[in-house]
Amino acid sequence: MNEKETEKAPIVVSKSFMAVGPTLHYSHKNVLICWLLALAAFGVSCVFWSKIVSHTFWPFDAQTVTNPAFWRLDRSITTGVSIFEYPWQILVLGLLMGILAIVPVLISQLMSFRYSIPLVLQIAILANLPAFAICVLVSCIAAACRPLRFRSRFIAIALCAAPQLLYWGYFGPARGVEPIAWGVSFAPWICAWFDAMVIAGFVLGIGHFTRYRPGLTWIFTALTLVIAVVVFEKAIGFDELGYNLYVARNDPEHVSAFYDRAITKALDRTMQDADTKELLDKLFYPPDPIARRAELRTEVQKQLKNDNWPSWFTVPPELEYKQRKEELLKQYEL
């Protein structure tokens, strides 16, 4: 009896859209330890960014999520330590922004997308850059996608980092400055791009020969952070940062206590108040509204010459400037 050979159809295993990186092939314990070290170094980088930009370790504000005005990066290059007065700040900002831009993408490419999510959250919360965190999130998704897993990992990660370039190009330059200063304001973000590519180049280049063993990402993240801290401390210093941020916050041109304000609405509300109206009648002010208003306005002007408000005037909060003004003037005299 002749037996017919049965042909078996090849088993096709469907591949997931999100790929797993080569680093996860090693011992899970070592991978987890190195990932936690990278997470810690990245978190310190975010905190240091917040410190040199806003002089606080916890600058997160929910308003930055919904208000596009807070998405801009020009505040970080002009407020406090300005890059136009302290050129070394260009390098410091570039090194830190390079870490923020590329490390989560490296984690997503070499490990998996889910390992990059905590780093993206650190950008949004610790660095107070929620809009930039969205761009990094898009890059992390792209780096983990199988269609973008090129033979050259460096080319793949450079292409996946394109959203960061778009963010820097749109939200990075300074506003209201001369053309030359406007061009110079791109310097930190150009430096950030080169720094990001250098970090990626070292991690992927050395990793190619070590078969992407865990540890390279956190080592180069920490090394770049140390360089940024040393350069900042040697060239600028936290004392200079604190002084410049204090001056920026208390500049008379930007302090509301020194602004000129109209009292028309406040005077109208005062005249319409029943108790105040009764008091003005007792003080023998003219009953005619137009004449009374003119006399009250004259009285306010006389009292303001002595830096006082009339006793009958209801002072709104925006006009409660006296105490704040005196505090600032005392500080300016020091």
Q: Is 8 helix (H, G, I), strand (E, B) or coil?
A: coil
As a whole number, the mean pLDDT across the chain is 81
The residue ranking higher by pLDDT, 291 or 183, is 183
The residue ranking higher by pLDDT, 235 or 63, is 235
Contact 116, 123 (CB under 8 A): no
- Side-chain-side CA neighbours of residue 80 (13 Å): 23
The residue ranking higher by pLDDT, 113 or 16, is 113
Q: What is the mean pLDDT of residues 118-126?
A: 93
Count H helices and E strands in the chain, helices first: 16, 0
Q: Is 112 helix (H, G, I), strand (E, B) or coil?
A: coil
Please tell me the predicted confidence (pLDDT) of residue 6.
Answer: 47
Please tell me the predicted confidence (pLDDT) of residue 206.
Answer: 93
Q: How far apart are CA 203 and CA 217, in angstroms?
A: 6
Residue 290 CB coordination number (10 Å): 8
Give the pLDDT confidence of 141-155 residue by residue, as tens digits. Answer: 999 887 777 678 889
Contact 280, 292 (CB under 8 A): yes
Q: How far apart are CA 190 and CA 14, in angstroms?
A: 41
At which residue do the structure tokens 């199988």 appear?
146
The residue ranking higher by pLDDT, 179 or 36, is 36
What are 211's two structure tokens?
Answer: 């078969």
- Which one of 50-54, 72-76, 281-285, 321-325 scores highest in mean pLDDT? 50-54
Give the pLDDT confidence of 208-232 residue by residue, as tens digits. Answer: 888 888 889 999 999 999 999 999 9
Give the pLDDT confidence of 260-303 residue by residue, as tens digits. Answer: 667 777 777 777 777 777 777 777 677 777 777 788 788 877 77
Q: What is the mean pLDDT of residues 51-80?
A: 70
Q: How far apart are CA 196 and CA 104, in angstroms?
A: 11
Q: How far apart are CA 277 and CA 288, in angstroms?
A: 12
Q: State how far Cα 194 lies from the chain centre.
A: 20
What are 62's two structure tokens?
Answer: 């929910």
Residues forming a β-bridge with 145? 18
Q: What is the mean pLDDT of residues 104-129?
A: 92
Please tell me the predicted confidence (pLDDT) of residue 308.
Answer: 76
- Name which of 271, 257, 329 is nearest 300 in CA terms: 271
What are 225's two structure tokens?
Answer: 């952070």
pLDDT for residue 324 is more than 80: no
| Residue ranges of domains in the chain | 22-249, 256-333
C-alpha dihedral, 120 to 121 to 127 to 128, nearest 10°: 120
What band does 23 get if pLDDT is binned at 50, 70 and 90? confident
pLDDT for residue 257 is more than 60: no
What are 4's two structure tokens?
Answer: 């017919």
For the chain, percent of residues with pLDDT exceeding 70? 78
pLDDT for residue 247 is more than 70: no
Q: What is the mean pLDDT of residues 160-189?
A: 88
Please tell me the predicted confidence (pLDDT) of residue 9.
Answer: 47
Please tell me the predicted confidence (pLDDT) of residue 332.
Answer: 60
At which residue do the structure tokens 């078996």 appear?
8
The residue ranking higher by pLDDT, 121 or 11, is 121
What band does 165 get if pLDDT is binned at 50, 70 and 90? very high
- Name which of 106, 123, 120, 97 is nearest 217 in CA terms: 106
Q: How far apart are CA 215 and CA 38, in angstroms?
A: 8
pLDDT for residue 13 is more than 50: no
Please tell me the predicted confidence (pLDDT) of residue 328.
Answer: 65
134-143, 294-303, 323-332: which range is least confident on average?
A: 323-332
Please tell me the predicted confidence (pLDDT) of residue 252.
Answer: 57
Q: State how far Cα 290 lies from the chain centre.
A: 52
Q: How far apart are CA 134 and CA 141, in angstroms?
A: 11
What band does 56 get if pLDDT is binned at 50, 70 and 90? confident
pLDDT for residue 7 is more than 60: no
Instruction: Convert 277-331 into a string of H (helix), E (strand) and C (coil).
Output: HHHHHHCCCCCCHHHHHHHHHHHHHHHHHCCCCCCCCCCCHHHCCHHHHHHHHHH
What band does 1 get if pLDDT is binned at 50, 70 and 90? very low
Q: What is the mean pLDDT of residues 30-56?
A: 90
